[in-house]
Structure 1
Amino acid sequence: MAATSAPIKVDVGTDQLISHAAHFLGKAKKDVVELAVREYIESHRSEINEGVRAALSQLDGSSASAISLLADVPTDRLQDYGGMPAASE
Structure 2
Amino acid sequence: MAIVSPIKVDATTDKMVADAAHFLGRSKKDIVDAAVRDYVEAHRGEINDGIRAALARLDGTRASVVAEISGLSEAELSELGGVPER
Relative to the length of structure 2, the TM-score reads 0.91
How far residue 77 of structure 1 moved from its aligned partner, in angstroms, is 2.6
Aligned to 1:19: 18
Aligned to 1:79: 78
**Cα deviation per residue 1:7-59 (whole Å; 9 max; x = unaligned)?**
11111111000000101111100000000000000000000000000000000
Aligned to 1:58: 57
Q: Which runs of 4+ in 1 moved over 4 A?
A: none
Equivalent residues, number: 86
Q: Percent same amino acid among aligned pairs? A: 49
- Higher relative contact order structure (alpha carbons within 8 Å, sequence separation ≥ 6): 2
**Which stretches in structure 1 are left out of the alignment for 5+ residues?**
none
